[in-house]
Amino acid sequence: MRTLLTVFRKEFLENLRDRRTLLSALLFGPLFGPLLFGFVVSRMLNQSVVETDEPLRLTMAGGEQAPGLVSYLESQGVQLRFTSFTVDAARAAVQNGTAKVVLIVPAEYPTRLLAAVPAPLFLVADSGDSETRKTADRARMVLAAYGSGIAQSRLELRGVSPLLALPVAVNDIDVATPSGRAVAILGFMTYFVLFAVLMGGLYLAIDSTAGERERGSLEALLCLPVSRSHLVGGKVLATCAYMCLSLAISLGAFVGVFRFVPLERLGMSANLGAGTAVAFFAICLPFVPLGACLMTFVASFTRSYREAQTYLTTVLLVPTLPIAFASIYSLKTKSSLMFIPSLSQHLLMTSVLKDERISAWDVLCSAGSSLTLALLLLSLTARHWRRETMLG
Amino acid sequence: MIEAESLHKRFGNVDAVVDVSFVARDGEITGVLGPNGAGKSTCLRMVYGVLSPDRGSARIDGIDVRGETSVARAHMGVLPHAAGLYNNLSARENIRYFGLLQSMQPDALEERTQLLACALGMEAFIDRRVKGFSQGQRIKVALARALVHDPGTLILDEPTNGLDVMAIRNLRSMLVELKSQGRCILFSSHVMQEVAALCDRVVIIGRGHVLADDSPETIRARCGANTLEEAFLHVLGNAEGVS
């Protein structure tokens, strides 16, 4: 026990004095996620808010042949810019960006409209550009509304109830809670939390194993009358301490950032207060020793700092895999999934965000499986440290 | 006292050490001499217990290194080939870390560190971070670290590597001082003058075998050589057909 504490204290202190690793463990790692996330989410929200508020702008050619359409569009608040584009000219204008969405009324439009056969309209837009695609969609909706208005009056003129043309009436009932909608946007946040956890211990895990070997202090250490498991234990413990710090900083930053993100303007509540942060911390806590043991285990096999760095960067990506699967297959919290570390933490955190009830059993399974795997890795690492090949 | 008895070690297809036996007594400096790759480090590593011999045994003060590794380790101080320090810790913290891992009590440790700082002439830099230390300063810290628990046996693997003349002379006088305190000192080297000047006993190892084990004078006289270097080449040549 004394050995464990001695090693822990020394590794903690040594890491604390290394400015470079400290920066990456306690600043870059934990703050990168929240800041990027806050920025991206607030940009996204601002954009969607602005889009619905902004009037629809269309470039129109041949408007003089469809005075009814023009007055309808203007009554709907559409801002029209009149030109005399042909289809080819419109295509060129959209391609080189001088116009975004062009509505063309061809010469046969008025006669066909009068004859009550489908009157053609051309909508020229670039669907590869997400912004013009949205504008084109809005234009399509306004035009459809205009068309169905005409259709209704035609039916009425012929003495037919327009309701006959509406055989079914679809009513949307959206069950998403305000916080549930936010989850769609915040879903990936959990990865940043797990990333911060791992980043917090990355350099210490390398320094206390591969670093020890590279600077030549390992053999002297192995000559001491101490148990190798205690050595490894102390190192893992120090790594855990930094990971917890990094996790706390990251969660604090998330709470801070989301104070300034206007989620409420979209009718969403992020459910991201101090209480959520504490719940997240508790959910991620069993993942800390697992990450520490995994990184220490991998780094123990490497010969140099650089080699360890290469392998551990891959380890940083490991927790993304289950989370990626979860979003592809839109997995929901299920007890059977609670045995998969990182995925279980992701699902539990998502449930907290959605304000759903979490069963104690799920939490226990998640913590239990992570801790069991951590113990297994710890004993494997200690076994490797007891081997002669550890000297390199 | 160190007793190595018929040590064997094989790495893959290579016999690194074959039947090596020697004794290093208290109050003497024993040198393990041999060309590069002769198996010196492997021998020492088996003696201080980080490698286990395939056959044979090593004892420190009568304690079997394999059987009672921890007890044996508490009896020895080791300065391995790569005696790296922790750069972000001060010299004192480096020494303290090893003292604590040797289960020393804080008071005794503090006292002992002060004593070593005095004896090794480290007062000027004992509280400075190790980063930027000269090789000479580093070897002093590493030596203090190995001696912190006051071991009766000191094992050094090529301690003079990378040291300048002044630092080597310093180290030499420190080893003589430690010997006069009655400690058993075992060190390996491939530098003749060093061994000739310092050792009471020389064990010459070539290709994993002990080729000679005696006082430097006796080895020299037996070969009819003027210097230990000539004797060394003679011994190696006899064994390996090297001229």
Report the pLDDT value the prediction gives residue A299, as an integer from 0 to 100: 95
State the ipTM, two decimals. Answer: 0.91
Please check whether residue B82 touches A, CB under 8 A: yes
Q: Are A319 and A336 in contact (CB under 8 A)?
A: no
Of the candidate ranges A179-183, A189-193, A318-322, B8-12, the one whose mean pLDDT is the lowest: A179-183
Q: Is the pLDDT of residue A75 over 60?
A: yes
d(CA B167, CA B163): 6
d(CA A39, CA A25): 21
The answer for residues whose C-beta is within 8 angstroms of residue B235's C-beta and 6 or more apart is B204, B206, B211, B212, B219, B223
CA-wise closest residue to B162 among B184, B182, B177, B142: B142
Q: Give me the helix-helix angle, A178-186 and A343-354, nearest 10°.
A: 150
Please report residues of A whose CB lies closer than 8 A to that of B79.
220
Chain B: give the shortest CA distance to residue A1, in Å.
11
- Interface probe with A: pick from B100, B109, B161, most Cβ of A within 10 Å: B100
Residue among A3, A13, A217 whose CB faces B84 most closely: A217
Q: What angle do CA B2, B8, B9 make, to 5 degrees?
A: 110
> Binning pLDDT at 50, 70 and 90, where does residue A265 land?
low
* Torsion-angle region of B150 (φ positive above 0: left; ψ -120 to 50: alpha; else: beta): left
Q: Is the pLDDT of residue B242 over 50?
A: no
Q: How many CB atoms lie within 10 A of CB B56?
A: 18
Distance in Å from the first CA to the final CA of chain B: 35
* Torsion-angle region of B188 (φ positive above 0: left; ψ -120 to 50: alpha; else: beta): beta
CA-wise closest residue to A122 among A135, A109, A141: A109
d(CA A243, CA B121): 40
Mean pLDDT within B78-84: 87
Q: Is the pLDDT of residue B239 over 70?
A: no
E-state strands within chain B: 2-11, 14-24, 29-33, 55-60, 63-64, 76-79, 153-157, 184-189, 201-206, 209-214
Given an 8 Å threshold on Cβ–Cβ distance, is B78 in contact with A223? yes
The answer for residues whose C-beta is within 8 angstroms of residue A388's C-beta and 6 or more apart is B50, B51, B52
Q: Return the amino acid letter for B200.
A: D
d(CA B95, CA A87): 84
- SS3 of residue B200 by DSSP: coil
Give the strand order in the sheet containing A102-104: A79-83, A57-61, A102-104, A122-124
Mean pLDDT within B38-50: 92
d(CA A342, CA A324): 11
d(CA A384, CA A375): 14
Report the pLDDT value the prediction gives residue B196, as an integer from 0 to 100: 83
Q: What is the pLDDT of residues A6-31, one digit of tens each?
A: 999 999 999 999 888 888 888 888 88
Structure-model confidence comparison of residues B90 and A2, the more confident one: B90
Nearest-CA residue of chain B relative to A234? B101
> Binning pLDDT at 50, 70 and 90, where does residue A49 land?
low
Given an 8 Å threshold on Cβ–Cβ distance, is A10 in contact with B83? no
d(CA A368, CA A358): 16
Q: Is the pLDDT of residue B236 over 90?
A: no
Element (H, E) at B198: helix B192-198
Report the pLDDT value the prediction gives residue B243, as an integer from 0 to 100: 39
Q: Are A249 and A31 in contact (CB under 8 A)?
A: yes
**Percent of chain A's residues with pLDDT above 90:** 41
| Confidence (pTM) | 0.81
Q: What is the pLDDT of residues B121-130, one digit of tens each?
A: 899 999 999 9
Query: Structural domains in chain B?
Result: 1-75+152-243 (3.40.50.300), 83-150 (no CATH)
The CATH class of the A56-165 domain is alpha beta
- Interface probe with B: pick from A18, A212, A219, A222, most Cβ of B within 10 Å: A219
Report the pLDDT value the prediction gives residue A181, as an integer from 0 to 100: 58
Chain A: give the shortest CA distance to residue B239, in Å.
30
Please check whether residue B100 touches A, CB under 8 A: yes
d(CA A145, CA A132): 20
Q: Is the pLDDT of residue A266 over 60?
A: no
Given an 8 Å threshold on Cβ–Cβ distance, is A223 in contact with B50? yes
Nearest 5°: phi and psi at A5? Answer: -70, -40
Chain A: give the shortest CA distance to residue B50, in Å.
7
Output the average pLDDT for chain B.
90
**Residue written as token pair 């008071």:** B107
Distance in Å from the first CA to the final CA of chain A: 27
> Binning pLDDT at 50, 70 and 90, where does residue A48 land?
low
Instruction: Evaluate the CA torsion angle A27, A28, A34, A40 in order and state its sign.
Output: positive
**Percent of chain B's residues with pLDDT above 70:** 98
CB < 8 Å & 24+ apart, contacts of A151-158: A154/A116
Q: What is the pLDDT of residues B143-198, one digit of tens each?
A: 999 999 999 999 999 888 878 888 888 888 989 999 999 999 999 988 888 888 88
d(CA B110, CA A179): 59
Mean pLDDT within A365-388: 95
**Residue written as token pair 């050589």:** B225
DSSP output for A217-273: -HHHHHTSSS-HHHHHHHHHHHHHHHHHHHHHHHHHHHHHHHHSS-GGGGT-----S
For strand B201-206 and strand B153-157, is the pairing parallel, antiparallel, or unpaired? Answer: unpaired
Q: Is the pLDDT of residue B232 over 80?
A: yes
Q: Is the pLDDT of residue A63 over 80?
A: yes
Mean pLDDT within A185-206: 86
Mean pLDDT within A233-238: 97
DSSP state of B162: T
Please report residues of A whose CB lies closer than 8 A to that of B81.
219
> Binning pLDDT at 50, 70 and 90, where does residue B141 land?
very high
Q: CB pairs below 8 Å between A and B: how many?
A: 78
Q: What is the pLDDT of residues A127-163, one digit of tens each?
A: 888 778 888 888 999 999 999 889 888 988 898 888 8
Nearest 5°: phi and psi at A232? Answer: -60, -45
Given an 8 Å threshold on Cβ–Cβ distance, is A220 in contact with B80? yes
* Domain coordinates in residue numbering, chain A: 2-46+178-391, 56-165
Given an 8 Å threshold on Cβ–Cβ distance, is A220 in contact with B88? no
